[in-house]
A and B are shown apart, each in its own frame.
Chain A
Amino acid sequence: MTEENLFERMAKAVVEGQREEAEKLAKEAVRRRMDLLEVIEKGYVPGIQKVGELWEKGEYFLPELITSAECMKAAMAVLQPELKKARIDAPSKGKVVIGTVEGDIHDIGKNLVASMLLAYRFDVYDLGADVKLEKFIEKAQETKADFICLSALLTTTMLGQRKLIEMIRDRDLAGKYKVLVGGAPVNEKWAADIGADGYAENALAAVKLASRLMAK
């Protein structure tokens, strides 16, 4: 099998949501001592880009979107440790600390966003659900994060988003981390009201938003 064939199969595995295939091909690339950065760029990235296009066209729905993101994750889990061993910086578009704020145990939406960010090569530190506000800041400082992403499904816990932004301001950390908010009761207006750096309506929109802010 030529490298071109392999790249095509990698993209196809991501588009079709074949997780085991995506993982197997990544291992094959490692075995063949291929240029792993090229593998990511020419094999897997076109796959997830195609998935994004299909989503925007309305052909792909959440089950396809999320399984493709999982394929991406599986492949990266094989490739990243190898890159690290070879002391090659894995291509990262930015560091994200993400979680659902305290008092709120809903994490489907947050997981979708985390998976998509990961699939689009952001470094994602997922703190889970019901996360103490303090924890977001600690993790952001520890990882030198670019973004803190806060999810909330309840109108009561949504207030935690405002509180975190106040905490960041109080500690003179404003501007250091971009705070993005999301969740069912959250909207553009709320994000603006509380002084968040952005709001995204769905997982792919979150990727675009974060990419746009990184490019600034």
Chain B
Amino acid sequence: MIKAKRPKLELLSRPFIKKIVAEALVLLEKQGVFVENKEALRLLREAGMKIDEPAKRALISPELVEKCLSTAPAVIKLYDRFGDKEFIVGEDWVHFNPGSAAVTILDHGTQAERKAVTDDLVRFTRLVDCLPNYDFQSTGLISSDVPEEIADSYRLYICLQYSSKPAVTGTFRVEGFQPMYEMLLAVRGSAKSLAERPLAIFDACPSPPLKWSNLTTQSLIDCARAGIPSELISMGLTGATSPVTIAGTLVQHVAENLSGLVIAHLAQQGAPVIFGGSPSSFDMRRGTTPMGAIETMMIDSAYAQIGKYLRLPTHAYMGLSDAKVNDAQAGLESGTGAVLAALAGINVVSGPGMLDFESAQSLEKLVIDNEICGMAYRLIEGISQRDEPLALDLFQDFRQGTQFLTMPHTRKWYREEHIFPSITDRETYDGWVSLGKKSMTDRASEEAERLLREHQAALPDEAVMRELGKIMKREARNAGLTDLPASEVV
């Protein structure tokens, strides 16, 4: 039987990859990176790197980069909250998860963006929990009804309760790591168990060009020591905060990611790090950061290819749109991005549900994008041989009027070969009219409501719930909040 050929997108030739990596290494060695974190500077100094102390600038040698790369895991495994289901982050596995940390939600009723509150976050989390094409959860919305000081840990608190999928998350403040770590420990039971079965990925975003802020560096260090995978989110804007050419931006992207890997590895050798990012093709007219631009997707696909060459797990922000509502642009950009990401074999693809340059989430879009991701998964499964011979048997009694509908072969394979969308319109015209002439967004909204009504999330056991509550209440009190917002949706 002939196995399916994995369809693959590769934008760069091998010599081009080598050239980009070579320039990135020179950049790190000659220009270095700014590191605004004392401990990281100390670690770099102790590793023999040249540090310009007043400027907080570190020059990183190619030898150190090579050394870190040689012990960096090419594959990271994540586990769901039960610790049972394993997800391989590496090779050509693709895991879609919603775009993270949106500040607003697109309200379907008013078709306007508004600040998200606890109920939105709960609904978001529950919906992602039951949509099958999202392998990971993301702490996707910032809840405006809790103080900013606890906004990061509060997202994880809600996420861990209402979903059992692994989470992509991150800190907003240096102090945010401790309670978030405690929450993950509460679920896993011990530090050892958490390190063996990671439940969450933490995003760490360098500031382009080539700068590691105190917060993000600390997150790298803390995660490395706790065995939590760090996802490096380099985000150059072509022609604004990174070179305008795609290849030039790739050089900076690779240098930023490699410097992040080095910092994480100096804190803990062999620490799990994901080669990722959220760069974009800067809009030279409006100064915006279009995530749906084809050039953005080209940068993503290309750096992911370089990440694979370096034998690191990869991540990108794709499958999202800059549209403000769920219109044709939203579908166009999200669909293109998700398909390209899948073809490029990017391991963690963050983006579904997102609109308006990573700033808004939409429940309807989550439902639509789930369908898009399903198509992308089907695409990369490819075409395989199911039978021997392929079809000749089916034509044995061939005559006028032969049909295939009643053949056992059809019944045997149709569900394997074809996927069945739930909200994509495949009605006849009259059928569509009789169903109320609804748009995809309307159907998606109804589907979201149905899923939220019917979905029974598996909650953590009571002791874990109590512990999570204890940690969150303590943080809330420290931030001056007497009680946590009550959620009406449970």
Q: Which residues of A contact B (CB under 8 A)?
A: 58, 61-63, 105, 108-109, 112, 155-156, 159, 184-185, 202
Number of A-B residue pairs having CB atoms within 8 Å of each other in the complex: 29
Give A159 to B151 CA distance when docked, in angstroms. Answer: 15
Q: A156–B148 contact, CB under 8 A?
A: yes
Q: A62–B103 contact, CB under 8 A?
A: no
Q: What does the 1/0 interface line of B279-300 toward A look like (CB < 8 Å)?
A: 0000011111000000000000
Give A188 to B49 CA distance when docked, in angstroms. Answer: 49
Give A108 to B288 CA distance when docked, in angstroms. Answer: 11
Find A61's partner among B207, B213, B285 (CB 8 Å cutoff).
Answer: B285
Find B284's partner among A63, A109, A156 (CB 8 Å cutoff).
Answer: A63
Using Cβ atoms and an 8 Å threshold, which residues of chain A touch B331? none
CB of B240 closer than 8 Å to a CB of A? yes
Q: A105–B213 contact, CB under 8 A?
A: yes
Given contacts A62-B284, A62-B287, contact A108 B240 (CB under 8 A): yes
Q: A63–B285 contact, CB under 8 A?
A: no
Q: B241–A108 contact, CB under 8 A?
A: yes
Using Cβ atoms and an 8 Å threshold, which residues of chain B touch A159? 148
Q: A202–B359 contact, CB under 8 A?
A: no
Using Cβ atoms and an 8 Å threshold, which residues of chain A touch B172? 156
| Contact residues on B (Cβ < 8 Å of other chain), bracket | 10 to 19
Using Cβ atoms and an 8 Å threshold, which residues of chain B touch A155? 103, 142
Q: B287–A112 contact, CB under 8 A?
A: yes
Given contacts A155-B103, A156-B148, A185-B359, contact A109 B287 (CB under 8 A): yes
A-facing residues in B195-237 (Cβ within 8 Å): 207, 213, 237
Q: Considering only CB atoms, which chain B residue lies closest to A156 in the complex?
A: B148
Give A68 to B448 CA distance when docked, in angstroms. Answer: 51
Q: B285–A62 contact, CB under 8 A?
A: yes
Q: Considering only CB atoms, which chain B residue lies closest to A201 in the complex?
A: B286
Q: A185–B285 contact, CB under 8 A?
A: no
Q: A63-B284, A105-B213, A185-B359 are in contact. List 17 more A-B contacts (CB 8 A).
A: A58-B285, A61-B284, A61-B285, A62-B240, A62-B285, A63-B239, A105-B207, A108-B237, A108-B287, A109-B287, A155-B103, A156-B151, A156-B172, A159-B148, A184-B357, A185-B103, A202-B287
Give A135 to B266 CA distance when docked, in angstroms. Answer: 38
Q: What does the 1/0 interface line of B101-138 toward A look like (CB < 8 Å)?
A: 00100000000000000000000000000000000000
- Ordered by A's residue number, 27 sampled pairs between the chains whose C-beta atoms are within 8 Å are A58-B285, A61-B284, A61-B285, A62-B240, A62-B284, A62-B285, A62-B287, A63-B239, A63-B284, A105-B207, A105-B213, A108-B237, A108-B240, A108-B241, A108-B287, A109-B287, A112-B287, A155-B142, A156-B148, A156-B151, A159-B148, A184-B288, A184-B357, A185-B103, A185-B359, A202-B286, A202-B287
Using Cβ atoms and an 8 Å threshold, which residues of chain A touch B285? 58, 61-62
Q: Considering only CB atoms, which chain B residue lies closest to A65 in the complex?
A: B284
Closest approach, in angstroms, between the C-beta of B480 and any C-beta of chain A? 15
Give A159 to B103 CA distance when docked, in angstroms. Answer: 14
Give A55 to B207 CA distance when docked, in angstroms. Answer: 29
B142, B239, B241, B287: residue with the most chain A Cβ atoms closer than 10 Å: B287
Closest approach, in angstroms, between the C-beta of A199 and any C-beta of chain B? 15
Closest approach, in angstroms, between the C-beta of B115 and any C-beta of chain A? 9
Using Cβ atoms and an 8 Å threshold, which residues of chain B touch A108? 237, 240-241, 287
Using Cβ atoms and an 8 Å threshold, which residues of chain B touch A63? 239, 284
Q: Considering only CB atoms, which chain B residue lies closest to A105 in the complex?
A: B207
Closest approach, in angstroms, between the C-beta of B174 and any C-beta of chain A? 13
Using Cβ atoms and an 8 Å threshold, which residues of chain A touch B239? 63
Using Cβ atoms and an 8 Å threshold, which residues of chain B touch A112? 287
Give A92 to B178 CA distance when docked, in angstroms. Answer: 52
Give A61 to B239 CA distance when docked, in angstroms. Answer: 12
Give A19 to B13 CA distance when docked, in angstroms. Answer: 38
Using Cβ atoms and an 8 Å threshold, which residues of chain A touch B207? 105
Using Cβ atoms and an 8 Å threshold, which residues of chain A touch B286? 202
Using Cβ atoms and an 8 Å threshold, which residues of chain A touch B237? 108
Closest approach, in angstroms, between the C-beta of B90 and any C-beta of chain A? 33
Using Cβ atoms and an 8 Å threshold, which residues of chain B touch A185? 103, 359
Give A54 to B142 CA distance when docked, in angstroms. Answer: 40
Give A61 to B359 CA distance when docked, in angstroms. Answer: 24
Give A58 to B148 CA distance when docked, in angstroms. Answer: 39
Q: Considering only CB atoms, which chain A residue lies closest to B359 in the complex?
A: A185
Give A61 to B286 CA distance when docked, in angstroms. Answer: 8
Q: Considering only CB atoms, which chain B residue lies closest to A64 in the complex?
A: B284
Closest approach, in angstroms, between the C-beta of B490 and any C-beta of chain A? 28
Q: Closest 6 CB pairs between A and B?
A: A61-B284, A155-B103, A62-B284, A61-B285, A156-B148, A108-B240
Give A73 to B352 CA distance when docked, in angstroms. Answer: 44
Using Cβ atoms and an 8 Å threshold, which residues of chain B touch A105? 207, 213
Give A156 to B213 CA distance when docked, in angstroms. Answer: 17
Closest approach, in angstroms, between the C-beta of A116 and any C-beta of chain B? 12
Give A147 to B285 CA distance when docked, in angstroms. Answer: 26
Give A109 to B282 CA distance when docked, in angstroms. Answer: 12
Q: Considering only CB atoms, which chain A residue lies closest to B288 in the complex?
A: A184
Give A25 to B20 CA distance when docked, in angstroms. Answer: 41
Q: Considering only CB atoms, which chain A residue lies closest to B36 in the complex?
A: A105
Q: Considering only CB atoms, which chain B residue lies closest to A155 in the complex?
A: B103
Using Cβ atoms and an 8 Å threshold, which residues of chain A touch B287? 62, 108-109, 112, 202
Give A105 to B148 CA distance when docked, in angstroms. Answer: 18
Give A155 to B103 CA distance when docked, in angstroms. Answer: 7
Give A184 to B288 CA distance when docked, in angstroms. Answer: 8
Q: Considering only CB atoms, which chain B residue lies closest to A58 in the complex?
A: B285
Closest approach, in angstroms, between the C-beta of A163 and any C-beta of chain B? 13
Q: Considering only CB atoms, which chain A residue lies closest to B286 in the complex?
A: A202
A-facing residues in B356-401 (Cβ within 8 Å): 357, 359
Q: What does the 1/0 interface line of B150-185 toward A look like (CB < 8 Å)?
A: 010000000000000000000010000000000000
Give A156 to B115 CA distance when docked, in angstroms. Answer: 12
Give A62 to B241 CA distance when docked, in angstroms. Answer: 13
Using Cβ atoms and an 8 Å threshold, which residues of chain A touch B240? 62, 108
Give A105 to B284 CA distance when docked, in angstroms. Answer: 21
Closest approach, in angstroms, between the C-beta of B244 and any C-beta of chain A? 8
Give A105 to B207 CA distance when docked, in angstroms. Answer: 9
Using Cβ atoms and an 8 Å threshold, which residues of chain B touch A184? 288, 357
Using Cβ atoms and an 8 Å threshold, which residues of chain A touch B357? 184
Closest approach, in angstroms, between the C-beta of B322 and any C-beta of chain A? 12
Using Cβ atoms and an 8 Å threshold, which residues of chain B touch A202? 286-287
Q: Considering only CB atoms, which chain B residue lies closest to A159 in the complex?
A: B148
